[in-house]
Structure 1
């Protein structure tokens, strides 16, 4: 069975777009596809998932536990523990390891909280 060639029909809504417009359309559609997954990840994370992320960032299990507990205590779980560490490191001009260790020791939480004031980042 041969498939009917309907390419010319299916491309009608795209045929007059420039390369730049096609690229913008591609990214807009890609965002539509990924958005439900991103939304689900934000709403359905867990301490074990966040510890797993931190372990892959090079933290020990004890360090990861302390960071995740701090993230949970401050209502930042939806931001992601790894993201909290990463954004804090950028803000403070330090490595992610240094930032994470500071958080694990109970330091820099005010700065971490300030980083996420005003919505998701």
Structure 2
């Protein structure tokens, strides 16, 4: 036997009754923003090794190279800076193209430069 739900629509919509269509639309989007703000913030400030490997794959690295790069970046505590960003900063510091720089990072080279670039070492002071 199914329970019958009491219809309370009129009572629940009372506070919205006098709003115009434009006001209802504005209220809807305000509430939608409030609901999605934490998700947007999470996406801006969080990443995973899988996401970073995916970025590196799109930059042209092989899956094996991407895995190695991400492992080195995790070990250095720089994953939150973005693997692609780390590779680009190192490439800039060593004046090489980013593919060569990334491959060197995967081999464990130049991680001191990566840390310096993001932790405010004696380099250009970039904190990106």
TM-score interval for Structure 1 and Structure 2 normalised by the shorter chain: 0.5 to 0.7
* Cα displacement string for residues 44-65 of structure 1 (whole angstroms, at most 9, x for unaligned residues): 2000000000000000000000
Structure 1: how far apart are the matches of 2:44 and 2:107? 26
Relative contact order: is structure 1 or structure 2 higher (C-alpha 8 Å, sep ≥ 6)?
Answer: 1
Question: 1:62 — aligned with what?
Answer: 64
Structure 2: how far apart are the matches of 1:51 and 1:57? 10
Give the TM-score normalised by the residue count of structure 1.
0.65
Specify the structure having the higher radius of gyration (Cα). Answer: 2
The answer to which of 67-76 and 110-119 deviates more is: 110-119
Question: 1:80 — aligned with what?
Answer: 82
Count of aligned pairs between the two proteins: 89
Does 2:96 match 1:94? yes
* Cα displacement string for residues 63-96 of structure 1 (whole angstroms, at most 9, x for unaligned residues): 0000001111111011000000011111111100
Question: 1:107 — aligned with what?
Answer: 109
User: 39, 42, 47: which one pairs with 2:49?
Assistant: 47
5+ residue gaps, structure 2, are 1-38, 121-125
5+ residue gaps, structure 1, are 1-35
Deviation at 1:42, TM superposition (A): 4.7
* Cα displacement string for residues 13-42 of structure 1 (whole angstroms, at most 9, x for unaligned residues): xxxxxxxxxxxxxxxxxxxxxxx84x5345
Label 1:42 to 1:113 Cα distance change in 2 as closer, same or farther (>3 A). farther
